[in-house]
Structure 1
Amino acid sequence: MNAPTPTPTPVPIDLGTWPRRQHFAHYRRRVPCAYAMTVEVDVTAFAAALRRSPRKSYLAQIWALATVVNRHEEFRMCLTASGDPAVWPVVHPAFTVFNPARETFACVWAPYDPDFGRFHDTAAPLLAEHSRATDFFPQGDPPPDTFDVSSLPWASFTGFTLDIRDNGDHLAPIFTLGRYTARDTRLFLPLAVQIHHAAADGFHTARLTNELQTLLADPTWL
């Protein structure tokens, strides 16, 4: 499915009233930097619910991330043509699809829907259709109102960092999912979040990961 047409216009942030105006300027111009935070998310209840469901774990993880991302303006930020901060009304997940024969991956995207069932029905065919893709972006370039999710189901990790050259102006979060780890009677998902410090502080990223934990601990939405 294609992006909503035309692409919505981001809403400029009122710099006169924005509490993070000075923080944004500092971390974009004076000390431009991104940071990464890796957390272990308890997915015991989530994984148990999925074992009783025909739906795909990867797409459920992506939907959960998109749901908490869309709750908060700091994770929907972008820049206007003049370089000022703005916020997309909604952002949509772009995610990797692995091609085992070529040992490469494609990047596809699906429109976010607050109803998981509708999102899954749209996104699941993309996994099947593009599992043998030879193009990096088989749907064409992702729309500007997307954020990135990738999966490393072959390895668990306790730290993961992307080195974004010069940090750039990439304000959207980047998420990396790892392999589940069993410990005692619990199951954990490693999750790395990469974020430009101009867009969000540690408080905001911690809130996002805590909300994700709450969402996955009560997977009645599955």
Structure 2
Amino acid sequence: MSAAREIDLATWSRAGQFHLFRTYDRPHFATTARVDVTALMTRGKPQGVSPYRAFIHAIGAGVHAVPALKMRFEGDRVLEYGEISLSATVPRPGDTFGYAYIPYIEDWDSFDESCKAIIEETTRGADLGANTGQRFDLAYLSCLPWIDFTALDNALPGPDDCIPRFSWGKFVEASDGRWSCPVAVQVHHALVDGLQVGQFFEATQKSLDRFASI
């Protein structure tokens, strides 16, 4: 598990929100917005870039750009992890899937090589590999390439689950040649507000736009 620092609740600007939303039975909220993947599809993919792995990397960039998305709570302790690994659903033969655990690396080429190997290993595995609660330094990712969804809600084990969920859907080409896809973000309101979700989308879009220079 990644190293973490404890947040001082006495000086934390969001301590009031934290204590408020911890009392809610349904403290999570989900936001869906479209992101532009034109550079990825028209420049990156023709050069051999995997859109699937590129999107995992972009979400990792978005998570690491926003400190609130690296925070987790254990009881009344709030911890900010230095590194968040990306737990992505990986399709397996038939109609099953497994969970991969992919360390985030800022450098795209290094990340892509590592991510590809981990995904291939997960594809060959048999165990689901679900997190049983022993790790908090994670973000959960899932790809729904069959659906151009407009909203998405996740299964959650309870109100104290504070690991954020990120899902992306079908890549769609518009009549003007631009490509886009929906991205859903589900977070615990005790740790994250709409401002931080907006910052995530901004950082994720910036990561996807980098393929325009390939």
* TM-score (structure 1 length as normaliser): 0.87
Give percent identity, aligned residues only.
26
Deviations 1:37-91 (A, max 9, x none): 01110111121122232232111101111112112210011124x5311100111
| 2:146 matches 1:159 | no
**CA separation in 1, counterparts of 2:192 and 2:182?**
21
1:77 is matched with which residue: 67, 71, 90? Answer: 71
Is the 8 Å Cα contact of residues 58 and 205 (structure 2) preserved in structure 1?
no
Is the 8 Å Cα contact of residues 37 and 180 (structure 2) preserved in structure 1?
yes
1:47 is matched with which residue: 8, 28, 41? Answer: 41
**CA separation in 1, counterparts of 2:72 and 2:77?**
8
Count of matched residue pairs: 213
| Aligned residue number for residue 63 of structure 1 | 57
| 2:83 matches 1:90 | yes
Deviations 1:196-217 (A, max 9, x none): 1111011110121122123222
**CA separation in 1, counterparts of 2:81 and 2:170?**
31
| Aligned residue number for residue 148 of structure 1 | 140
Is the 8 Å Cα contact of residues 90 and 99 (structure 2) preserved in structure 1?
yes
> Are residues 118 and 221 of structure 1, via their aligned partners in 2, closer, same or farther at CA, if it must alter by over 3 Å?
farther
Q: CA deviation at 1:138?
A: 8.4
**CA separation in 2, counterparts of 1:141 and 1:128?**
24
Give unpaired runs (5+ residues) of structure 2. Answer: none
> Are residues 190 and 87 of structure 1, via their aligned partners in 2, closer, same or farther at CA, if it must alter by over 3 Å?
same
Give me the CA root mean square deviation. Answer: 2.2
> Are residues 100 and 142 of structure 1, via their aligned partners in 2, closer, same or farther at CA, if it must alter by over 3 Å?
farther
Q: CA deviation at 1:32?
A: 4.8
Give unpaired runs (5+ residues) of structure 1. Answer: 1-6
Q: CA deviation at 1:164?
A: 2.2
> Are residues 165 and 108 of structure 1, via their aligned partners in 2, closer, same or farther at CA, if it must alter by over 3 Å?
closer
| 2:181 matches 1:186 | no
2:20 is matched with which residue: 13, 17, 26? Answer: 26
| Aligned residue number for residue 206 of structure 2 | 214
| Aligned residue number for residue 170 of structure 1 | 161
What letter corresponds to residue 83 of structure 2 in structure 1?
V
* TM-score (structure 2 length as normaliser): 0.90
Matches within 5 A, 1:6-25: 7-25=1-19
Is the 8 Å Cα contact of residues 26 and 32 (structure 1) preserved in structure 2?
no
> Are residues 121 and 204 of structure 1, via their aligned partners in 2, closer, same or farther at CA, if it must alter by over 3 Å?
same
> Are residues 106 and 141 of structure 1, via their aligned partners in 2, closer, same or farther at CA, if it must alter by over 3 Å?
farther
Is the 8 Å Cα contact of residues 3 and 83 (structure 2) preserved in structure 1?
no
Deviates more, 1:195-204 or 1:135-144: 135-144
Deviations 1:134-177 (A, max 9, x none): 2101899874311111111112111111142542x222211011
